[in-house]
Structure 1
Amino acid sequence: MHLAACIFPTEYAIGPVELATALEERGFESLWVAEHSHIPVDRASPWPGGPDMPQMYYDTMDPFVWLAAAATATVGLKVGTGICLVVERDPIHTAKQVASLDVLSGGRFLFGVGAGWNKEEMANHGTDPSRRFGLLRERVEAMQAIWAADGAEYHGDQVDFAPIHQNPKPVQSPHPPVHVGGVFPGGLERAVRYGDGWIPIAGRGDDGFDPATVVAQRDEACERAGRDPAELELSIYYAPPERAAVEAMAEAGIDRALFGLPSAGADVVLSLLDDFTEAAKGL
């Protein structure tokens, strides 16, 4: 099982170079960052994590700029969006950003995507919240087409463009792996349809978190769709860091544990990284 870390990149958090270097030194596989373009003043959408949304949601930097710094400071560490709010982005422009980062990193980019929960935020980008899941699929499919071939075109209900030329192409063929975030069952269904991985959040959803159940859900959904379950990676977002929980995830067949880091300074974050490393020692 791969060890990974996820963080909200802010001005007051540990910087990308220092964090990426520390992760690589400790044997972590990847670093993931969240995205929010803005938070509307008159937000009515409830934060899924509880009554009080943390300040880091308001202060998050651009993920692609931040990850570029992390990637150029490391050799083997993978970098990923966890998650990129595709429904708030132009797919042609985002396809170029993804490909560019994959080239700059030497093929180390992991593309975590999702539709998000903040309806007012997505509406400010011109997205109808009631249609966001269909839009997410079409934009991902459109980007996959752009990465895979020159002269790509896409014709959907919400995304439509004639053949285009776009370079560079990603280093990874046919494209960087697309990991779809979201709780069961909707998030898994979307991942099976057009993703290379599924990112459920530990403790989110009706049934809480049990790694064996998550693996069984993935396997059953893939079998119904005629897909090999091994083709759909399982990455647990905000994975529980306790030793027993880490052991349970590894034994169940979880592919990647993403440990959540606070948007804090190096003294706090590096100490937590040492704790995470110790919890996974020998697994």
Structure 2
Amino acid sequence: MQFGVSTFITDQGIRPASLGTALEERAFESLFIAEHSHIPVSRRTPYPGGGELPDVYYRTLDPFVALSAIAAVTRSLRLATGIALVPQRDPITTAKEVASLDLVSEGRVIFGVGVGWNREEMMNHGADPATRGRLTDERLLAMRELWTAEKAEFHGEFVDFDPVYAWPKPVQRPHPPIYVGGGEGAFRRVAEIGDAWLATNVSPEQLGPRIERLRTRAGRDVPVTVYAVPDDPGLVEGYIRLGVERVLFNLPTVPESETASYLDRLARVASGFR
């Protein structure tokens, strides 16, 4: 099993390059970073975690800019969106960003995706919350076409373009792995489009039956990465027993000096299972 970190990179925490170096020095395998383009002042959509929306949601850096800075100072760290909000992203532009990052990092990208929860945020991008699932599916399929075809074209309900040339192509073949975030409602998307499931806020006891249902639905052994795990060795041991591909420790967004000590603590937990 691999050990990585999931976090929000903001203008108030450790800088991307410093974080990437610190992670690689401590032998972490991957970094998954969150995305929010903006937060509307109107807060009608309840925060899924309950209570007030944490400050980090307001201040996230663009994930592809941040991951590019990290790519420049690392050699082995996997670089992942966790998650990219596909309903809020143009598929042609996003396909180029993912492929460009995969090229400059020499094939280290994981494309973590989701449909999002903040209805006002996605509506500002012209996405209808009621159809965001179908929109996400089409945009992912269109991106896959752009990555793999010399003359790519796509004709759907939401995405429509005649044959186009789109370079660069990703280093990874056929394309960077697509990790689909979400609960059981995302299982169809995992089965039909995704390469892995990015599970969030689920204990080992809950996760085991869900993995079985997912693999039955998909008809294959779907890899599972668990997002935002506390530094609890008991939890990690439970995930190991389930055979998950990767555990992502939750890293709070704090200044650089505090980040280093927190990463040391996470690395000690991980080292107990290596």
Could you say whether these structures have the same fold, taking a TM-score greater than 0.5 normalized by the shorter chain as the test?
yes
Residue 47 of structure 1 corresponds to which residue in structure 2? 47
Equivalent residue for 1:241?
Answer: 231
Distance in 2, Cα, partners of 1:220 & 1:48: 24
Give the Å deviation of 1:103.
0.1
Flag as ranges the 4+ runs of structure 1 deviating above 6 A.
none
How far apart, CA to CA, are the structure 2 residues paired with 1:188 and 1:265? 37
- State the Cα distance separating 1:213 from its structure 2 match: 4.1
Q: Check the 8 A contact 1:215/1:254 in 2, yes or no.
A: no
Identify which of 202, 210, 215 aligns with 1:222: 215
Partner residue, 2:22: 22
Q: Quote the residue 1:253 is aligned against.
A: 243
Conservation of the 8 A alpha-carbon contact between 1:8 and 1:33: yes
Percentage of identical aligned residues: 47
For 2:144, give the aligned amino acid: Q
Structure 2: gaps of 5 or more residues: none
Instruction: Tell me how far apart the structure 2 counterparts of residues 44 and 173 of structure 1 sit (CA, whole Å).
Output: 42
Q: Indicate conservation of the 8 Å contact 2:190/2:218, yes or no.
A: no
**1:212 Cα shift?**
5.3
Once residues 246 and 187 of structure 2 are traced to their aligned partners in structure 1, the CA distance between those partners, rounded to angstroms, is 16
* 1:122/1:21 CA distance change after superposition, 3 Å: same
Aligned to 2:255: 265
Residue equivalent to 1:186 = 185
- The 8 Å contact of residues 16 and 67 in structure 1, kept in 2 or not, is answered as yes
Gapped regions of structure 1 (runs ≥ 5): 203-208
Q: Paired residues, what number?
A: 273
Inter-partner Cα distance in structure 1 for 2:253 and 2:230: 17
> Aligned with 1:70: secondary structure?
helix
Q: What residue is the counterpart of 1:205 in the other structure? A: none
Q: Which amino acid is 2:214 matched to? A: A
In 1, the alpha carbon distance for the partners of 2:5 and 2:101 equals 19
C-alpha RMSD of matched pairs (Å): 1.2
TM-score by length of 2: 0.96
CA separation of 1:152/1:219 partners in 2, compared to 1, >3 Å: closer, same or farther? Answer: farther
User: Which residue in the other structure is 1:10 paired with?
Assistant: 10
d(CA) in 2 for partners of 1:148, 1:34: 26
Letter aligned with residue 199 of structure 2: P
Larger mean Cα displacement after TM superposition, 167-176 or 40-49: 40-49
